[in-house]
Amino acid sequence: MFRNNYDNDSVTFSPQGRIFQVEYAAEAVKQGSVVVGIASKTHAVLVAIKRNAEELSSYQKKLFPIDEHTGIAIAGLTSDARVLSNFMKQQCLGHRLTYGRNMPIRNLVEQIGSKAQNNTQHYGKRPYGVGLLIAGVDNTGPHLFEFQPSGMTEEMQAFAIGARSQMARTYLERHLDAFQDSSREELITHGLRALKESLVQDRELTVDNTSVGVVGFIKEGEASYKVDPFKVYDGQEVSVFLEKVSDSAEGGAAPAAGGEAEGEGMEVDS
């Protein structure tokens, strides 16, 4: 980990132009369990694998509602995610009190991007060790954004972050053309299939370790819309979605990919 004293803080560049503290924060995201997000013309979906630190502990939450029109999925340090989620809730509430309407998703994402990037400019602060997928709707439709510890944000049609997320992204790339016109149920099914691709051979999606979050958008006129509020499905509520994935697998869908085990070296989002 020693980088000739260039990794002691987040405000010192190495001679190669790198900030090692930001890179270490990105590694914390890679240690977290995988989360997948997909957006269509009418809905945005987040699905996640939950971990438990040990057999006696409960599964930690991976999906957090922010406002009625948006929610997040996390990969990395849960404590840092709570700080950012509370900040996002305050921004949404302040915007609603000031303007009487939901905060545009892009504005919200830019706020947390600036907050995170500010930590790389001041000595004594550190980057947030968490990556986010932000799903939401506004008057322009559904949106999915990725947030990185460096403060960089980018809009996506479909994406996955966390351990072994490359396998989930490969699935998403193969089916990218189908997402825009997919229904709510089809989006959830695609998300769970992508999640399944990232699992090791001896693990399965269950009602205990799987979470699903959905937010929708219904156009009511040229400039008006109705929000299908962000809802998180946990426990037995997920079973109906898992049955559809299981049925499609029996019908000939690609089996879950095997390979090396997930990185468990750092106790992150569990």
For 83-110, what is each residue's pLDDT tens digit? Answer: 999 999 999 999 999 999 999 999 999 9
Query: How many whole angstroms separate alpha carbon 178 and alpha carbon 176?
Result: 5
List, for residues 2-38, the tens digit of each pLDDT value.
557 888 888 889 899 999 999 999 999 999 999 999 9
Q: How many CA atoms lie within 13 A of 40 on its CB side?
A: 24
Q: State phi, psi for 219 to the nearest 5 degrees.
A: -75, 130
Residues making up the chain, counted from first to last: 270
CATH superfamily of 20-250: Aminohydrolase, N-terminal nucleophile (Ntn) domain (3.60.20.10)
Residues 6+ apart with CB under 8 A from 114: 151
3-state secondary structure of 145: strand
**Does pTM top 0.85 for this prediction?**
yes
Query: How many whole angstroms separate alpha carbon 56 and alpha carbon 72?
Result: 27
The percent of residues in the chain predicted with pLDDT above 90, rounded, is 70
User: Domain-by-domain residue ranges, the chain?
Assistant: 20-250
